[in-house]
Amino acid sequence: MDTVVKKEQKKVEISSAEWQIMRIVWTLNDVTSSEIINLMQKKQTWSDSTIKTLITRLTKKRFLSREKENGRYIYSATVEEQATMNEYANGLFSNFCAHKSGSVLNELIDSMEISRSDIEILQNTLNEKIKTAPERVKCDCLPDGCSDMC
Ligand SMILES: [Zn+2]
C-alpha cells in the first residue's frame, strides 16, 4: 500500500520575544545558549533564565534543535528564515478582511524603510500582478460574503 508522506505543516506561532532568539540563531547558525544569552543581553534586559525559557520553548515547538557537543548544547534552526517570515506575514494578513488587505499593505509599504532594489522588485511584482488582478476583492467577513456594501 502506498503511503503518502505529508510534509509537516508547522504553523508559525512565535512570540515577539521568541522572534528575537530565532533571529540570533538564523544569523549565526550554530550557537550555544550562553552565546544567545550574551548577545540577547546586549539588546534586552532579560535575565538568563528568561532567555533559557525562550530557548526551551522554541526547542519544544521544534523551531530549534539541539545537539550535544563537548558537553554543551549547540542550537540550530529547523526552519528557514525567509519561509518562516513569509508564512508568519501570510498568517497575519489572513486574519484581515480581504477587501481591506490591499490598503493595509499600502500603508505598510508607505511607512516601512525599504531599499531602492526592493522597491524595484515590488514595482515589477505589481506590474505583473495588475495584468490579472480582479476589478475588486470582495469582503469575506460574513459567512455569505457582503452584499454590495463593500
Ligand atoms: Zn470585510
What's the number of domains the chain is made of?
2
Residue 73 and residue 106 in one domain: no
Is residue 86 situated within a structural domain?
A: no
Q: How far is the CA of 145 from the centre of ligand 1 (A)?
A: 8
What pLDDT score does 7 carry?
A: 42
Separation between Cα atoms, residue 140 and residue 143, nearest integer Å:
7
- Per-residue pLDDT band for 8 (boundaries 50, 70, 90) equals very low
**Phi–psi pair at 5, nearest 5 degrees:** -85, 110
Separation between Cα atoms, residue 124 and residue 103, nearest integer Å:
19
What pLDDT score does 143 carry?
A: 86
**Residues in contact with 122: Cβ distance below 8 Å, sequence separation at least 6, in sequence order:** 109, 114
Mean residue pLDDT of the chain comes to: 91
Q: How far is the CA of 9 from the centre of ligand 1 (A)?
A: 27
Q: How far is the CA of 88 from the centre of ligand 1 (A)?
A: 21
Q: How far is the CA of 102 from the centre of ligand 1 (A)?
A: 12
Is residue 148 situated within a structural domain?
A: no
pLDDT > 70? residue 1: no
Q: How far is the CA of 139 from the centre of ligand 1 (A)?
A: 4
Rg (CA), the chain: 21
Is residue 110 situated within a structural domain?
A: yes
- Letter string b/e over residues 31-61, b meaning 16 or more CB atoms within 10 A of that residue's CB: bebeebbebbeeeeebeeeebeebbebbeee
First and final C-alpha spacing in the chain: 50
Residue 65 and residue 101 in one domain: no
* 105 in Cβ contact with 99 (< 8 Å): no
Is residue 147 situated within a structural domain?
A: no
Domain of 124 in residue numbering reads as 97-139
| Grid coordinates of 138 | 470582495
Is residue 2 situated within a structural domain?
A: no
The percentage of residues in the chain with a pLDDT greater than 90, rounded to a whole number, is: 85
Is residue 113 situated within a structural domain?
A: yes
Q: How far is the CA of 97 from the centre of ligand 1 (A)?
A: 4
Q: Is the pTM of this model over 0.85?
A: no
| Residue at a domain's end among 44, 77, 110 | 77
Is residue 84 situated within a structural domain?
A: no
